[in-house]
Structures are given as C-alpha cells and as structure tokens.
Amino acid sequence: MHEAIPLTEKYERQGWPSLARPDLTAPPQWSLALITAVERVRNHQLAPNGEQLTFIWDRGDLSDVYVLSAAGGWPRRVTVDRGLVAYWSDEVPQWSPDSAWL
C-alpha cells in the first residue's frame, strides 16, 4: 500500500493541489515598460554583404521597414504608413543576393 504524502503547506492552481512555485521575481534589468512596450523591433535581416541591416519597427499602429548601416547611425525608413501586422504573420524583409535590393 502507498502512504499518503503529508502536505505541510497548501498550494492550489485552478483548484488542483500543486507544489509551491519558485521565486518568480523578474531579473533586475527587466521592467514592466520593457516587456509590455508597444514599440518593437523585429524580423531583422543582415544584407549578404554585411553592410546593412533591415528590420521591422512596430510603432503605434504602424509596422514600417527600416534599414540601418552596419557602421552605425540612424535607421532609414523605407516604407511609409505600412499598416500594423502581427509579428507571427508578417514576413522577414529579404535582400537580393548582391545586397542591391530589398
């Protein structure tokens, strides 16, 4: 026969007995503003020649495509007023093999 396991503390999740959760404190560099930000940079792609990087920047209700020089500087927007697209259904910008076209 099996002996019952004595429970010294009671934890429940949705009515089911459960073990205690580990400490769920976020790392100190995380902030609520960071993890819930509306602005998001995603779907980045380095040009084949390694000189430029393209990415999609979600800002407000737009998802525009930007290009940034690998040497630094400010990103340059290459689309204007592109509607907001969910990241899971959007395409990654693609470079031509010679890096001349996006």
Model pLDDT for residues 6-46, shown as the tens digit of each residue: 655 566 666 666 666 666 676 677 666 665 566 888 899 99
Is the overall model pTM greater than 0.75, yes or no?
no
Ramachandran angles phi, psi of 34, nearest 5°: -70, -45
**Which H helix or E strand runs over 35?**
helix 32-35
**What pLDDT score does 71 carry?**
93
Domain count, the chain: 1
What's the CA gap between 55 and 70, in Å, rounded? 12
What's the CA gap between 94 and 48, in Å, rounded? 10
Burial of 85 (0-12, 13-18, 19+ CB in 10 A): middle
In a domain, 46, yes or no: yes
In a domain, 14, yes or no: no
In a domain, 45, yes or no: yes
Q: How confident is the model at residue 76 (pLDDT cuts 50, 70, 90)?
A: very high
In a domain, 32, yes or no: no
In a domain, 34, yes or no: no
Range(s) of the domain holding residue 68: 39-102
| CA gyration radius, the chain | 23
Grouping H, G, I as helix, E, B as strand and the rest as coil, residue 89 is helix
In a domain, 44, yes or no: yes
